[in-house]
Amino acid sequence: MEINKRRIQKMRDLISQNLMESLLPFPLDTKLYSSWASGLPHDGETIIYTSYMYQISGILKRYEELFPKIYRLNLPKRLMTASKFLIKPNRDELDRSFNILKNITSMLTAHGLNFGYLYDEEPYSGALLLESGFINEYKEYGKKLYNFFKERGVKQIITVDPHTTNALKRYKDFIDFDIDIKNYLELVNFKGSGNYVIHDSCLYSRAMGMYDNIRAKIKDSGISASENYLITGKDMGSCCGGPLALVSTKDSEDISKSRAEKLLSVNENVLVMCPLCYQNLSPYVNNIKDIAEVVS
């Protein structure tokens, strides 16, 4: 237990240092991960904000494997710098994430919303600090992030995933963060088809109270949702296991497998709305889609 505690403290220090220095939790090829956008204005009072979550979701497990090595070897700077070049998503993963972001952008534009994008200057949200319980570091980073947005005249941020949305909205509980935060699912209606069992993001459904609103929009879209209260109910749906991975890979994978089995008992087609849920459940589900892949 003491070893795990020291490892977690080392991880906290490493992530915090990177965030305060570069606004990124670890070195990223930001030009690559922002290259999905084309034609969007740079900056603006309203921006679409990805926090790179969809783009890097396919490589996060490799970073989770790297953290223990960084701790044991005590060479954080060298390893973390090299990781930018050594750890990259495959082309299919990247193209899939780009298509999701382009579809979200198209839906927002179709609803008459005007917004810009920060391109390769986009910072990370700080969600990893919040969800790991590093609250003091989360607050300090929030101040830096707030100043970054204010210097660019940002007044409203449109987010695309639950972890980023929750991290930005929670800053208001700790610091002055008077930027309006809206998730794209709050702003658009959509059309879709097919029959799925829905795996809800814990953050959307419980932390942010979006369960009923998202369910209504999915029903109105034309998508048929298979339900089982004990598996998909707001108070009964369980986590994908992802947030536990930095502490225990085995426990995280056991939870992911269990959750996948329960979902598949309802329907062989699974619909998610979070890039991390997708990554954690996809090894156990043949047909799994993000909602932004099946609606328009």
Predicted TM-score (pTM) of this structure = 0.93
R_g (Cα) of the chain, nearest Å:
19
280, 254 in Cβ contact below 8 A? no
In which band, very low, low, confident or very high, does the pLDDT at 132 lie, cut at 50, 70 and 90?
A: confident
Name the range with the highest mean pLDDT among 84-98, 152-166, 251-265. Answer: 152-166
Answer whether residue 263 shows pLDDT above 80.
Answer: yes
How high is the pLDDT of residue 7? 65
Q: What is the pLDDT of residue 79?
A: 54
pLDDT of residue 244: 72
Share of the chain above pLDDT 70, in %: 89
**Does pLDDT of 76 surpass 70?**
no
CA-nearest of 164, 167, 154 to 185 is: 164
In residues, how long is the chain?
Answer: 296
What is the CATH number assigned to the segment(s) 190-294? 3.40.50
Asked whether the predicted pLDDT for residue 245 surpasses 80, the reply is no
Centre a 10 Å sphere on the Cβ of residue 179 and count the other Cβ atoms it contains. Answer: 17
7 Cβ contact partners less than 8 Å away, ≥ 6 residues apart: 67, 68, 71
Confidence label for 12 from pLDDT (cuts 50, 70 and 90): confident
pLDDT(1) > 50: no
* Phi, psi dihedrals of residue 198, rounded to the nearest 5°: -95, 125
175 to each of 153, 166, 170, 223, how far by Cα in Å? 19, 15, 9, 40
Mean pLDDT of 222-235: 95
**What rounded mean pLDDT belongs to the chain?**
90
Ranking 66-70, 74-78, 114-118, 203-207 by mean pLDDT, the lowest is 74-78
The single-letter DSSP state of residue 153 is T
Supply the pLDDT for residue 9: 74
CATH 3.40.50 in the chain, residues? 190-294
Residue 71 has pLDDT above 80, yes or no: no
Which has more pLDDT, 79 or 201?
Answer: 201
Output the pLDDT for position 2.
Answer: 44
Distance CA 207, CA 27 (A): 30
| Separation between Cα atoms, residue 145 and residue 23, nearest integer Å | 8
pLDDT of residue 250: 83
Please enumerate in sequence order all residues whose Cβ is within 8 A of that of 267, keeping only pairs 6 or more positions apart, or say none: 195, 196, 197, 226
Complete DSSP assignment for 257-296: HHHHHHHHTT-SEEEES-HHHHHHHGGG-SEEEEHHHHB-
Residues 184-194 pLDDT 10s: 999 999 999 99
Q: Which amino acid is at 210?
A: M
State phi, psi for 8 to the nearest 5 degrees.
-65, -40
